[in-house]
A and B are shown apart, each in its own frame.
Chain A
Amino acid sequence: MTLLILFLAVLGIFWTPYSTTEMSAAERFQAPSLRHLFGTDNFGRDIFSRVMKGMGTTVLISTLVVVCAGGAGILIGALTGYFGGIVDEIVMRITDAVNGFPSILLGLVMISLLGSGQHNLIISLSIVFTPSFVRIVRSEFIKLRDADYIKRARLMGVGNLRILFVHILPNIFSVFWVSIMIGFNNAILAESGMSYLGIGVQPPDASLGKMLSDAQGYLMTAPWYALAPGLSIVWIVLGFSLLSEGIRRLQA
């Protein structure tokens, strides 16, 4: 299932059955048919093609956000959790602050500093998502810091870095993996929210979130327009969570 998503998403970057931007007055609001699998939208564009393309954009953005935020989360969380002290204190205050800070305001700040576009969307979302990862990684590190096998390793003279990344990190993987999946889900949703406010992906490029919010106005006339991107998001997230479940079972 996930493979199919990835396949469609990757394919969507290079090829779509119809142009994603070409409009046709004659083909507005066509119901799903063999010609247009998911029907057409208010500009007569093929929704299936746009969903493919949008999947690519959305998955790419969300993946990068999770990778950036997760990476930063591991680094910061590991160091602060393991060593503690004053740096830990300060970093935790900052993550608290970011937690309370509205992501939209942050997005606006990023745009005025860096200009609008996908990269900045990724940067602002990464900043927003980092604290939750830091928190999880940190608490796991605190828990394991005093575990017997770590104490033993320390006594054996294993270096701090090695303990951090070889002895502890693999052990928090299962917990971290869950939060990655939740983060991925949230990133997709946040991307749609930001795109809706004009901070994210710019039309006529397609993203699933943008399509969903555009479709809201046509729920009655063209329900397929909202259902296609909406269900696609559900499908992607579901696919990835089942995948993560599977991986966890394999590990266990």
Chain B
Amino acid sequence: MKYFIKKLATLIMTLFIVSVAAFIAFQIIPGDVVTSILGTEATPEREVQLRQELGLDQPPVKRYFSWMVGVLQGDLGVSYRYSKNMNEMMPVAELIGDKLPVTLWLAAISLMLIVAVSIPLGVFWAKSRSKVLDAVLGVTTQTAMAVPAFFLGILVTYLFGIFLKWFTPGGYVSYQENMGGFLGYLVFPAISIAIPKIAMTARFLRNSMLTEMDADYVRTAYSKGCSDRRVMYGHVLRNAMMPVVTFLGMIIAEIIAGSIVVEQVFGLPGIGRLLISSISTRDFPVVQILILYITFVVIFVYFLVDILYRIIDPRISSK
């Protein structure tokens, strides 16, 4: 229990550091949201008015605290940049709530692909005694890991989109409109995300399994007359999976935190793209919440990983 309270305290502390850092960053970088909204053609009077409307005429420290008080009361504020209709701005919660499912589904599909391919591949690889196969798989996975994300995205678009015409590049449909079409489209960006991760996970699993296979208990199991199958799946895989699961956790944290590049290449209106465009338009309320969200996800997943470590290796907690 004490452990959880401590973790919670550190989480809050980190979030606080991040929010202050982001706020300071926005004070430093050139260009502000008023310039971004008004561009080159607006009247000076309108500039003053807009500054007041957004509360930017207040001193920075006061602005930060009024923002924080709002967040603590559950009010995430409204976007500076995105309109809801003619006169109202889009509430940040609504804006992010709208984009989050895209990123979460993308993460889910990617994870399914990674698990579905990498685990059988890793097991098969570990079991295979063929030197040639080993070398081929080694080089293939190394290559898959070396392809830059946006290059891979472009290749996938070309192969599946332009040549095979399995999907329409840029033909994203919103999940509110057509769930089937939405998921069908997401498969291809998910493939781009999954390919290098599959390679990494498979390698990781293989190495982990090879280490386990040398362990004493495996020899014991064999000598007791257990079948090859039983040893493999009952013992080796189970033990080898633990580090792989933590590894997968980190991958998921990475994707949920926004796959900026893949979202950009495939035109997915997800968290990553929202973050990029909000930074460039200086939409502070949106950026601030997104950063908090990303930090939260990262820390939360590390926390889970930490717990897993403790389960695997109880020595860590006995300090």
B-binding residues in A (CB < 8 A): 84, 89, 92-94, 96-97, 99-102, 104-106, 108-109, 112-113, 142, 146, 185, 188-189, 192-193, 209, 212-213, 216, 219, 226, 230, 233-238, 241-242, 245
Contact A109 B148 (CB under 8 A): no
B291 on the interface (CB 8 Å rule)? yes
Chain B contact residues: helix, strand, loop or mixed: helix
B276 on the interface (CB 8 Å rule)? yes
**Chain A positions within 8 Å of B260 at CB level:** 193
Contact A93 B142 (CB under 8 A): no
Contact B151 A108 (CB under 8 A): no
Interface stretch among B14-22, B43-51, B102-110? B14-22
Chain A contact residues: helix, strand, loop or mixed: helix
Q: A96-B299, A100-B18, A112-B28 are in contact. List 10 more A-B contacts (CB 8 A).
A: A96-B14, A96-B298, A97-B17, A102-B279, A109-B29, A112-B30, A193-B261, A238-B146, A241-B146, A245-B138
CB-nearest residue of chain A relative to B138?
A: A245
The 4 closest A-B pairs by CB, nearest first: A100-B295, A237-B146, A238-B146, A230-B151
Contact A89 B275 (CB under 8 A): no
Query: Beyond A102-B291, A105-B25, A142-B316, is A93–B13 a contact (Cβ under 8 Å)?
Result: yes
B147 on the interface (CB 8 Å rule)? yes
Q: How far is the CB of A238 from chain B (nearest CB, A)?
A: 4
- In the bound assembly, the distance between CA atoms of A213 and B298 in angstroms comes to 29
Contact A233 B146 (CB under 8 A): yes
Most chain B CB within 10 A, of A105, A212, A242, is at A105
B154 on the interface (CB 8 Å rule)? yes
Contact B294 A100 (CB under 8 A): yes
Contact residues, B286-318 vs A (CB, 8 A): 287, 291-292, 294-296, 298-299, 302, 315-316
Query: Beyond A94-B17, A97-B14, is A212–B295 a contact (Cβ under 8 Å)?
Result: no
Most chain A CB within 10 A, of B13, B147, B261, B315, is at B147
22 A-B pairs whose Cβ atoms sit less than 8 Å apart in the complex: A84-B319, A93-B14, A96-B10, A96-B298, A97-B17, A97-B295, A100-B14, A100-B292, A101-B291, A104-B279, A105-B29, A109-B25, A109-B29, A185-B146, A192-B150, A209-B148, A212-B148, A226-B154, A230-B151, A230-B154, A234-B151, A241-B145
**Chain A positions within 8 Å of B154 at CB level:** 216, 219, 226, 230
Contact with A along B129-156 (1 / 0, CB 8 A): 0000000001000110111111100100
**Chain A positions within 8 Å of B124 at CB level:** none
Q: How far is the CB of B281 from chain A (nearest CB, A)?
A: 13
Contact A109 B28 (CB under 8 A): yes
**Chain B positions within 8 Å of A89 at CB level:** 10
Most chain B CB within 10 A, of A109, A113, A192, is at A109
- In the bound assembly, the distance between CA atoms of A113 and B299 in angstroms comes to 29
**Chain A positions within 8 Å of B257 at CB level:** 100
Most chain B CB within 10 A, of A100, A234, A238, A245, is at A100
**Chain A positions within 8 Å of B292 at CB level:** 100
- In the bound assembly, the distance between CA atoms of A66 and B8 in angstroms comes to 32
Contact A230 B25 (CB under 8 A): no
Contact A112 B29 (CB under 8 A): yes
Q: How far is the CB of A221 from chain B (nearest CB, A)?
A: 14
**Chain B positions within 8 Å of A99 at CB level:** 295, 298
- In the bound assembly, the distance between CA atoms of A113 and B25 in angstroms comes to 10
- In the bound assembly, the distance between CA atoms of A212 and B147 in angstroms comes to 12
**Chain A positions within 8 Å of B302 at CB level:** 96
Contact residues, B1-57 vs A (CB, 8 A): 10, 13-14, 17-18, 21-22, 25, 28-30
**Chain A positions within 8 Å of B261 at CB level:** 193
B160 on the interface (CB 8 Å rule)? no
- In the bound assembly, the distance between CA atoms of A102 and B289 in angstroms comes to 12
- In the bound assembly, the distance between CA atoms of A101 and B26 in angstroms comes to 12
Of A97, A101, A142, A212, the residue contacting B150 (CB under 8 A) is: A212
**Chain A positions within 8 Å of B151 at CB level:** 212, 226, 230, 233-234
